Structure formats: structure tokens, C-alpha cells
Amino acid sequence: MTPDLQRLRDLLEDLKAIVDELRLELVDDPVWAEPSDTSYLNDADRANPDIMANVEAMAATNEQIAWFGRDFEGYVGLWRGPSQRSLAKAPVVRLDTEGQYALVAATVPDYVAIGISQDGFERRRAALVNAGFDVASSPGVIWTALEPFDDPNAYRHKLYNEGRKHRGLEPI
């Protein structure tokens, strides 16, 4: 757990309005299995090499994420990536309900500040700063801070194509 996540947990009641906007539910299990759950697959799905290549690619991608919760769009965690960057330097990634990964902020406070939209950013930022968090000065700064990081969706896609090839399918 990072200091920012611990502070967020400690201040949940004080930041309730912001956390509720995100519909953020925190979990205390960085290897949380729920984002990798495949119980929805039936026998036909499990026999489909394309589906299984994707399932395996997502499981391998999820291993590079220290999950900390779920929000209004999916699961959220810290993207350590294949380089296994430290949690303190890991950006926030979201796995949405469509199975797509996206980096959403370089830090947990920036993720909470940017929220569900840029509307209300200044209000959320002020509340977080007042609670002792270091927060970027604008949404643009938050998006720019993501540029140096590798893309988790591209990582998953690479693994997916390797899995397809291994199963005798053409990469896409």
C-alpha cells in the first residue's frame, strides 16, 4: 500500500462526497482475484482458442497491477507493468467493464481529483489539498504526467497475439 492510499483510507469519512462521486470502493488486497474472475466462461468459451488467448493475456496483465478497488467504470489499481516499478511510482490504471485497460492518473490523489470528469476538478482538488494530498494543478497536467508510462492495453494486446500465435491463430 502506498502512503496516498493509506491516507485516503484514513480520510474516507472526510472525503466522503468525492469518494461517493467516483463510487469508489476500496479493497485491501493488491492481488485481489475478482478482476481476473472467469467463472462466466462456459465450456464452449473455454474451447475457443481466441477467447482463451484473451483470458490468459488479461490474467497476465492483471498480475502487473496492485488492485486497490473499483469505481463507477471498473476496477482500479496501480500499474507496475512488466518493469515492476515500485508502487510509489506506479500510475493508476482502470480495467473497465468492456475489458479495456487505461491509465487514468499518475497518482492516486490525481485520480480522485480528476474524478468522473473535469467538471468539479477545482472543488475536488481543493478538498484533497486541504486533506494533505499533493494534487496536480490542472487536468492537463494530470494527462501529461501519463506520457512516460507504458500502456497496459498495448501490453495485454501483445500477450493476446502471442497466445493466438501459440494456438495456431493469426495475430490481429
Give pLDDT tens digits for 33-75: 999 999 999 999 999 999 999 999 999 999 999 999 999 999 9
State the pLDDT at residue 115.
81
Whether 159 is covered by a domain: the verdict is: yes
Query: CA nearest 17: which of 94, 132, 126?
Result: 126
Exposed (0-12), middle (13-18) or buried (19+): which is 15, by Cβ within 10 Å? buried
Whether 24 is covered by a domain: the verdict is: yes
- Distance CA(91)–CA(73), nearest Å, equals 17
- Distance CA(41)–CA(17), nearest Å, equals 37
Cut 0.85: pTM above it: yes
Q: Considering just the CA atoms, what is the radius of gyration of the chain in Å?
A: 17
Give pLDDT tens digits for 97-124: 999 999 999 999 999 999 877 789 999 9
Whether 40 is covered by a domain: the verdict is: yes
Give how many domains the chain has, as a whole number.
Answer: 1
Full domain range(s) for residue 136: 3-166
Whether 88 is covered by a domain: the verdict is: yes
Whether 172 is covered by a domain: the verdict is: no
